[in-house]
């Protein structure tokens, strides 16, 4: 650690002196946000470092001891005999193990993964660098409790299903702002670029108490990257099987206190891969047709920070996707020529006012304009090809006040939104949302050696949507520090969550049901996590979960034969997640293995004698296993990932089966610094053993694929 003090004698005599500083990572030099800074022995205030690493605390009397805690770093104690003038810098040393990552999605306050009240996964950008994946779905699928429904390769829709719940029960956020569609309730994971992601946080279990509607199964928060401190220009290009091409350019830097960046990425391909079409004993090799894609991602961001006064960021993104959507394959003549077009523009601004004391005020405002077209020349209505157009607008304002003291933090926030839909298939609708939430964290040191600490996480949220009854979503969370060595934590949370009906369910023409009520769920999550340093660093995590969903919305024909949704079903999902990691001290070799067992069953009878009662829900694997290993021998790094997905039932009666599959991918990355430029080359093989498989019924997936990427930053 290296601390710089700037002394100023003239200020020495003043009391309630303000101390300002900047905290950075000792290894990377990047600012460290969310570090807790406080003056020991109640001799001053406490605060968290802001998103640019700056902090302000006031000191009552000197000498004093300033404490800086961050779950990802070794704590620092700074003794100050007299006031310092100006800012001083603190360089924190990172803790050399996993589970040290700080997540905000689980509690809306920074907390280490070990101290979270619910099951959490953290995917850093370095994992994406080493991954053979080209879609977000492929990356998320490797985390515990997650099953990604894939309807083809890069061109296809992908949706997340967490802990045996449906895709509309996984709330997708980008930088904390809702991304999931108001119209369908689903976040299409196929519409993301992996290039602009800093890290991802996945929290499992019901989280409506923090995020409102849709967070029944869990929340995926995609955190985009920040501008660089120095001027960085990046470029990369990829080529691969079936016409895959990708090009990316990025520029980032800081000018006059403003951090800025911009990037553009294009991905295109034919996805006309061969696949084995099986029907009974008949096996035919067919080729996927009409699945080409052309994707454009444009992102821009400006960050502004002024110590202790205001931090702000403005992000804008635009996605333009044109994708073939050939649908199910039931024979040589069943492929369609439909196309799916998406144009999504999003703007988000976040302002943070640190205020100097324990209070911080935040204001987040976001607007999205999502347009989608579905054109199918093979489906004609009255002689005219089907050409559905949907336009969704979503405006959100989220003011929030944060309080942080040494052993207590609290958030109180409001959320207002206006969502609207205009569509060729729906009645036009506008829906307002008014929400309020309060949550806190309490850290209690216990007077025992075992357990030594308890963290309490109570939270409650109230949401009111136009035309819907209000919903109160409470959560109680607990994390107990059991042992210091090996570090072991127990966690428990119980939450009530809900999902407000989507625009499709309310307003589809014909059949939409404006009288629908929200779905409600009760979820329990209990887990044990541990960390052991012995021949490297071991981490272990085990969770059991249960999600009981009531008033589930199911579409079925009414007496007049029109398909219409009703609140008729309930489901119970229970399971076990295990994850273990190991890395040697120098992180030359690191391994992760996880496995999830899920039992999701329908617990309601549609009528007496309903044969689907107590049967497993379709498309939910009973077990998934992921094993990955990485060897880093500079300048080379090799990663292999092996994933196993068990069989899924393809029907509510549990009579038809989609076979299980296992997939292996290998990535070789070679990084070299040439004349100040960091260059890399990455070669990847997916589906190494050329397996024929389907994730969802009748949507064939590609056989073995190769991809090569070269790129660099200057």
Partner 1 sequence: MKITWVAVCTIFCMGCVQDPTAPHTSPPAESSGGVYILNEGRFGHGDASLSYYDLQSGQVSNDVFFAVNNRMLGDVGNSILIRGGRAYIVVNNSNRIEVIGVADNRSAGTIDMGAGRSPRQMAFVNDTLALVTNLYDNSVIVVNVRSMSQGTRIPVGPNPEGIVIAAGKVFVANSGLGSGRSLSVIDLPELSVVRTLRVGDNPYAIEAASDGTLYVLCAGSYMPDTPAKIFIVDPASETVVDSVFLGSHVFKFAVGIAGRVYVPVADSVVIVDTGTRRITGSLTRGVAYYGVGVDTVSGNVYLADPKNYVQPGTIHVYTPAGIQSTSFDVGIIPGSFAFKR
Residues at the site binding partner 1, with contacts judged by CB under 8 A: 279-282, 327-328, 330-337, 377-383, 509-510, 535, 556-557, 559-562, 578, 580, 582, 591, 593-595, 597, 606-607, 610-612, 621-623, 625, 627, 644, 646-647, 650-653, 655-657, 659-660, 697-698
Shortest distance, CB of residue 325 to partner 1, whole angstroms? 12
The H-assigned helical ranges of 448-535 are: 503-507
Shortest distance, CB of residue 568 to partner 1, whole angstroms? 9
Shortest distance, CB of residue 165 to partner 1, whole angstroms? 18
Q: Which is nearer to partner 1, 73 or 699 (CB)?
A: 699
Beta-bridge mates of residue 430: 420
Q: Which is nearer to partner 1, 214 or 376 (CB)?
A: 376
CA dist 506 and 212 (Å) reads 19
Shortest distance, CB of residue 413 to partner 1, whole angstroms? 40
Q: Which is nearer to partner 1, 16 or 556 (CB)?
A: 556
Which distant-in-sequence residues (6+ apart) come within 8 Å of 660 by Cβ? 621, 644, 645, 646, 647, 648
Shortest distance, CB of residue 386 to partner 1, whole angstroms? 9
Which of 436, 437, 363, 441 shows the shortest CA–CA distance to 403? 441
Tokens (6 digits) for 143: 């985390």
Conformational region of residue 130, where left means phi above 0, alpha means psi within -120 to 50, and beta covers everything else: alpha
Q: Which is nearer to partner 1, 75 or 595 (CB)?
A: 595
Shortest distance, CB of residue 60 to partner 1, whole angstroms? 52
DSSP notation for 39-56: EGGGSB-EEE--TTSEEE
Q: Which is nearer to partner 1, 239 or 629 (CB)?
A: 629
The H-assigned helical ranges of 483-622 are: 503-507
- For residue 168, CA distances in Å to 343, 569, 683 come to 21, 15, 35
Say whether 284 sits in a helix, a strand or coil.
Answer: strand
Shortest distance, CB of residue 286 to partner 1, whole angstroms? 12
Q: Which is nearer to partner 1, 264 or 544 (CB)?
A: 544
Q: Which is nearer to partner 1, 86 or 557 (CB)?
A: 557
CA dist 183 and 423 (Å) reads 10
Shortest distance, CB of residue 509 to partner 1, whole angstroms? 6
Shortest distance, CB of residue 635 to partner 1, whole angstroms? 26
Give all strands (DSSP E) within 485-588, no chain letters.
487-499, 519-533, 537-557, 563-583
Shortest distance, CB of residue 54 to partner 1, whole angstroms? 43
Shortest distance, CB of residue 189 to partner 1, whole angstroms? 20
Q: Which is nearer to partner 1, 28 or 282 (CB)?
A: 282
CA dist 105 and 91 (Å) reads 25
Q: Which is nearer to partner 1, 299 or 541 (CB)?
A: 541
CA dist 293 and 287 (Å) reads 16
Q: Please compute Rg for the chain using Cα positions.
A: 26
Which of 413-422's residues contact partners 24+ apart within 8 Å by CB, and which partners?
413/108, 413/437, 413/438, 415/212, 418/393, 418/394, 419/182, 419/392, 419/393, 419/394, 419/395, 419/503, 420/392, 420/393, 420/394, 421/182, 421/183, 421/390, 421/391, 421/392, 421/503, 421/507, 422/390, 422/391
Tokens (6 digits) for 291: 């699945």
Q: Which is nearer to partner 1, 536 or 702 (CB)?
A: 536
Q: Which is nearer to partner 1, 128 or 593 (CB)?
A: 593
Say whether 195 sits in a helix, a strand or coil.
Answer: coil
């Amino acid at each position: 650690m290296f601390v710089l003090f700037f002394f100023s004698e003239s200020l020495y005599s003043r009391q309630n002196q303000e101390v300002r500083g900047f905290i950075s990572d000792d290894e990377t030099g990047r600012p460290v946000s969310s570090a807790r800074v406080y003056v020991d022995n109640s001799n001053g205030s406490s605060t968290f470092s802001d998103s640019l690493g700056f902090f302000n605390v006031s000191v009552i009397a000197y000498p004093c001891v300033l404490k800086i805690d961050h779950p990802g770093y070794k704590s620092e104690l700074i003794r100050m005999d007299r006031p310092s003038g100006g800012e001083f810098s603190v360089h924190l040393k990172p803790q050399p193990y996993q589970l040290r990552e700080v997540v905000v999605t689980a509690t809306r306050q920074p907390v280490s993964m070990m101290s979270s009240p619910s099951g959490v996964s953290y995917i850093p950008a370095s994992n994406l660098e080493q991954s053979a994946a080209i879609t977000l779905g492929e990356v998320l699928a490797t985390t515990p409790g997650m099953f990604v429904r894939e309807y083809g390769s890069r061109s296809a829709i992908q949706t997340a299903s967490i802990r045996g719940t449906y895709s509309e029960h996984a709330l997708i956020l980008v930088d904390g702002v809702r991304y999931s569609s108001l119209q369908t309730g689903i976040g299409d994971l196929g519409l993301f670029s992996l290039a602009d992601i800093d890290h991802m946080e996945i929290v499992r279990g019901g989280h409506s108490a923090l995020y409102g509607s849709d967070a029944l199964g869990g929340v995926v928060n995609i955190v985009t990257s920040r501008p660089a401190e120095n001027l960085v220009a990046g470029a990369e290009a990829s080529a691969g099987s079936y016409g895959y091409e990708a090009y990316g350019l990025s520029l980032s830097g800081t000018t006059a206190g403003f951090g800025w960046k911009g990037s553009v990425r294009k991905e295109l391909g034919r996805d006309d891969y061969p696949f084995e079409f099986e029907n009974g004993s008949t096996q035919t090799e067919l080729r996927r047709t009409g699945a080409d894609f052309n994707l454009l991602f444009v992102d821009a961001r400006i960050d502004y920070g002024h110590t202790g006064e205001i931090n702000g960021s403005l992000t804008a993104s635009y996605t333009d996707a044109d994708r073939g959507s050939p649908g199910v394959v039931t024979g040589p003549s069943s492929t369609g020529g439909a196309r799916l077009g998406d144009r999504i523009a999003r703007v988000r601004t976040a302002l943070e006012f640190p205020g100097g004391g324990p209070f911080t005020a935040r204001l987040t405002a976001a607007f999205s304009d999502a347009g989608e077209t579905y054109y199918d020349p093979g489906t004609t209505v009255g002689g005219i090809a089907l050409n559905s157009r949907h336009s969704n607008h979503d405006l959100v304002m989220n003011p929030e006040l944060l309080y942080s003291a040494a052993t207590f933090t609290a958030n109180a926030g409001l959320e207002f939104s206006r969502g609207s839909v205009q569509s060729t298939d729906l009645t036009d609708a506008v829906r307002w949302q008014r929400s309020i939430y309060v949550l806190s964290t309490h850290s209690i040191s216990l007077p025992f050696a075992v357990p030594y600490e308890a963290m309490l996480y109570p939270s409650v949220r109230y949401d009111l949507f136009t035309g819907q009854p209000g919903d109160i979503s409470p959560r109680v969370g607990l994390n107990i520090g059991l042992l210091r060595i090996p570090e072991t934590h127990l966690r428990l949370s119980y939450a009530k969550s809900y999902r407000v009906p989507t625009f499709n369910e309310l307003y589809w023409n014909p059949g939409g049901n404006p009288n629908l009520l929200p779905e409600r769920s009760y979820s329990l999550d209990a887990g044990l996590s541990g960390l052991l340093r012995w021949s490297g660093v071991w981490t272990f995590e085990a969770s059991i979960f249960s999600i009981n969903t009531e008033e589930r919305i199911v579409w079925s024909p009414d007496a007049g034969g029109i398909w219409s949704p009703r609140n008729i079903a309930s489901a119970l999902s229970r399971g076990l997640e295990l994850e273990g990691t190991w890395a040697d001290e120098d992180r030359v070799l690191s391994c992760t293995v996880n496995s999830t067992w899920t039992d999701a069953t329908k617990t309601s009878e549609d009528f007496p004698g309903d044969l689907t009662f107590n049967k497993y829900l379709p498309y939910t694997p009973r077990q998934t296993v992921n094993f990955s290993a990485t060897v880093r021998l500079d300048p080379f790094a090799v990663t292999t990932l092996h994933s196993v997905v068990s069989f899924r039932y393809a029907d509510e009666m549990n009579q038809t089966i989609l076979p299980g599959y296992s997939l292996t991918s290998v990535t070789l990355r070679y990084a070299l610094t040439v004349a100040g430029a960091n260059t890399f080359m990455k070669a990847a093989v997916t589906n190494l053993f050329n397996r024929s498989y389907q994730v969802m019924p009748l949507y064939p997936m590609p056989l073995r694929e190769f991809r090569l990427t070269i790129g660099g930053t200057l």
